[in-house]
Amino acid sequence: MNILQIREKLDRGGIEVLLYDICKNAKKSGLNIYLSTFSKGELDEEFNVLDCTMIELKRKYPIDIKLVKNLRRIVIERDIDVIHTHQAIEALHAYLATWGLKRKVKNIISHHGSIYPMKDKFVMKFLIPRVSQNLAVSNSYLKRLEKEENFRISKNFQVLYNGIDQKKINLNGTDIKDELSLSKSTRLLGMVGNFYNTGRDQFTICQALVPLYKLYNDIHFIFIGGWEKGKSDSYYQCIEFCKRENIQGRVHFLGVRQDIGNILRQLDIFVYSSNHDTFGIAVVEAMLAGKPIVVNDIPAMLEITKDGEVAEIFNSKNHNSLYNSICKLLDNKEYSTKLAVKSKKWATDNFTIESHLKKLQKIYSDIS
C-alpha cells in the first residue's frame, strides 16, 4: 500500500518524532511511505537516511496552485492510495490535489493538539466531513475538539494513540552525570518539554524544587527542551526564579537534545507538568525507559497513565502537591520501583510504534 505522508516542515516536535518512527518501521508493516515537505526543516538530514522516499516541494502562497499540481502529479505517478496529513494547510492542499481524480485516493487528517487558529478552524470545518477519516491522538483531545472547536466527531473520527520506537530508548550515549560534573551518587530528576509556547508548565516544577533541595542534598533536576531567544517567556521566568532562590547550581537547562532516550534511562524520576496537552510523547518515552512518573492531573495525562494507576499524580499548578508526590517516590524505593514496572508494562502494551502501525495499517485498509 502506497502512503503519502505530508508535513509542511520537519522541525523538532512531537509530530516529527512520530513520523520518524513511522518511516523507520513502516516497511515491516507492509506500508510503502512517501514523505513530502513544503519547506526545509532542521530534521531533513535525519529523515533522508530512513527507508522512505523524501519528496521536497515548495509552497509560496497560502493556497498554492503550483503545489496542488505537483502533489496531484505525485499521487498519479506514485500510485498513491492514501494521503495522510497533520495540519490544516497540508490537508487543504492534499484535498485539492485529489479532487476530481478518476481513481479514488483517500485523505486522512491526524489532529495532534492545541486550539486551532481561526483560519485553520475554518479550513478544518470544511475538510472534516469531506475526508475519509479523522484521527485524534487521545480520547481527551477528541472531547476537546467537540467541546472547544465545535467539530462534529460522531461520524468519521476515531482515536489512534501515538507510538514510540523502543529501540531508541535503549541507545547508549554519554554519561549525563559526567557531562554535568555530578557525583555518581546524585539522584537525577528530569522533564522533557520545549519552552517555545505556553503548553508546558516548567515553572511549577521550579517552585517545588526550592523545598525539595532543602530536604534532599543529593538531587539535581534536568530540563530538556528548546527555547527561542527573546521570545520564550517561560524559560526566562524559570531562569530568573532559580537565580533568585539560589538553586541555579542544581537546575540544568540542557536545551534541545538528540539523546533523550539515553538521558531518560539515567533519571531516577521523570516529572512532567503541563498547562494543556493531548498525548505526551515524552511521558510515554519515560515509561518505556522504566522510570517512575510524576504527572499533573489534566485529562490527557490521566488517560495515558491509566487514570493515574501507573503514575504519581499531583494537582496542576500546585507546587506543594508536586513536592509531596516527588517526596513519596524519593522516600519509598519499593513503591517507586513497583510504579516504574507497572508504567513500563502499560506503555509497552499500548504505546509502541508496532502497536501504532498495526492499527494504522488497519485504518488504511478499511477505507481503501
Average pLDDT of the segment spanning 168-194: 93
- pLDDT band per the 50, 70, 90 thresholds, residue 153: very high
Cβ–Cβ < 8 Å for 298, 276: yes
pLDDT of residue 57: 98
Cβ–Cβ < 8 Å for 139, 159: yes
List pLDDT tens digits, range 322-365: 999 999 999 999 999 999 999 999 999 999 999 999 999 999 99
Full-model pTM:
0.88
List pLDDT tens digits, range 284-306: 999 999 999 999 999 999 999 99
Three cell numbers written together for 314: 499531583
Secondary element (H or E) of residue 165:
none
Sheet of 82-85: strands edge to edge?
53-56, 32-37, 2-6, 82-85, 106-111, 133-136, 157-159
**Residue among 33, 35, 39, 100 at smallest CA distance from 64:** 39
- Phi-psi label, residue 113: left if phi above 0, alpha if psi -120 to 50, beta otherwise: left
Q: Helices 281-288 and 14-25 meet at what angle, rounded to 10?
A: 50
Three cell numbers written together for 357: 502501525
- Phi-psi label, residue 354: left if phi above 0, alpha if psi -120 to 50, beta otherwise: alpha
- pLDDT band per the 50, 70, 90 thresholds, residue 198: confident
**Residue among 37, 328, 289, 274 at smallest CA distance from 141:** 274
Contact residues for 172 (Cβ-Cβ < 8 A; gap 6+)? 262
The span from the CA of 325 to the CA of 327, in Å, is 5
Judge whether residue 172 has pLDDT over 90: no
Cβ–Cβ < 8 Å for 237, 230: no
List pLDDT tens digits, range 201-236: 999 999 999 999 999 999 999 999 999 887 789 999
CATH numbers and ranges of domains, the chain = 2-163+352-367 (3.40.50.2000), 167-350 (3.40.50.2000)
